Structure 1
Amino acid sequence: MLIQTLKTLFHRDLNRLKREFELYRNEEIIWHTEKGIANSAGNLCLHLVGNLNTYIGAELGKTGYIRHRELEFSLKDIPRIELIEQVEKTITVVENVLNTLTNEQLDNEYPILIFDEKTTTGYLLVHLTTHLAYHLGQINYHRRLLDLH
């Protein structure tokens, strides 16, 4: 049951992430920051892609993905279409990995330490859905606040 719920939430919110970038009228605004807004929507997208490809793809799916976290916040001006393509690839990775998981694996300890103490794989996957939703909300607000033209 939890696996199906996770699949549904990741699918829904990663497609919403893709849609947010399709809705920007002015592509340059994707990389814009304003006073009090530390990260652009583009950088948040790169962060989400890196996060999910690391903790789901590389760790659980053994995809070989190598994360460059510092670039998630320093790269700029990547075309919208490339961001959308990265999200689409991430959707595939997440779906493929979740399709291989068992309920028993969800109860197992997640292989690497992420927080102050070890967690189960299920706990970490639930955390990743809330992390995605949190930044998705920020991107939505960024678009509605700054993409006025």
Structure 2
Amino acid sequence: MLTEVLLNLFKRDLEKLKEEINLYKTEPNLWILEEGISNSSGNLCLHLVGNLNHFIGEGLGNTGYVRQRELEFSLKDVPKSQLIAQVDDTIAMVEEVLGKLSNDDLQKEYRHRVFGEPMTTEYFLVHLTMHLAYHLGQINYHRRLLDN
């Protein structure tokens, strides 16, 4: 079933996100910005956690999560331990919410018109996995480029 595939992908990449955060030599390096780099890895981590908690947690699981998107990009110097804890909480939420979805649920229209057009829940969940992978790649590159 697609939900099992999606769950495995989300868990794999969220575990990789924790690994990338832990690989930084010093915590301040998570927040480095250089010319041409508009988001630090710390902010991208916060963004991914906020995005998934909003669109999966609240959007599908009715968790009550209230997103503060502007803080995802404006907060600085959040301790590494807090970032990791937020990712762990996000993994647990994704497991719980996706574990309850049926194939019929995947074919239903997602309740928010994120892109201005209707889409199935299945389509949007695939999009969210790609969004996670995109930013995970940015974090990996940021770490290798600027954490020296």
Q: Same fold (TM over 0.5)?
A: yes
* 2:55 alignment partner AA: Y
Alpha-carbon distance between aligned partners in 2 of 1:139 and 1:146, rounded to the nearest angstrom: 10
Alpha-carbon distance between aligned partners in 1 of 2:91 and 2:33, rounded to the nearest angstrom: 27
Alpha-carbon distance between aligned partners in 2 of 1:116 and 1:33, rounded to the nearest angstrom: 32
The Cα of 1:110 is off from its aligned counterpart by 0.2
Q: Hey, what does 1:53 align to over in structure 2?
A: 53
Pairs aligned (count): 148
Q: Does 1:18 align with 2:13?
A: no
> Which string of whole-angstrom CA distances, capped at 9 and with x for unpartnered residues, describes residues 91-123 of structure 1?
000010000000000000001110020100000
Q: Hey, what does 1:126 align to over in structure 2?
A: 126
Give the percent of matched residue pairs that are identical in Structure 1 and Structure 2: 62
Q: Hey, what does 2:93 align to over in structure 1?
A: 93
Alpha-carbon distance between aligned partners in 2 of 1:76 and 1:94, rounded to the nearest angstrom: 25
Alpha-carbon distance between aligned partners in 2 of 1:65 and 1:100, rounded to the nearest angstrom: 18
CA RMSD of aligned residues (A): 0.5
Q: Hey, what does 1:81 align to over in structure 2?
A: 81
Q: Hey, what does 1:145 align to over in structure 2?
A: 145
Alpha-carbon distance between aligned partners in 2 of 1:87 and 1:118, rounded to the nearest angstrom: 29
The unaligned stretches of length 5 or more in structure 2 are none
Q: Hey, what does 2:70 align to over in structure 1?
A: 70
* 1:67 alignment partner AA: R
Q: Secondary structure at 2:87's aligned position in 1?
A: helix
Q: Does 1:40 align with 2:40?
A: yes
Paired residues for 1:108-119 under 5 Å: 108-119=108-119
**What's the TM-score, normalizing by structure 2?**
0.99
The unaligned stretches of length 5 or more in structure 1 are none
> Which string of whole-angstrom CA distances, capped at 9 and with x for unpartnered residues, describes residues 34-58 of structure 1?
1100000000000000000000001
Alpha-carbon distance between aligned partners in 1 of 2:33 and 2:21, rounded to the nearest angstrom: 16
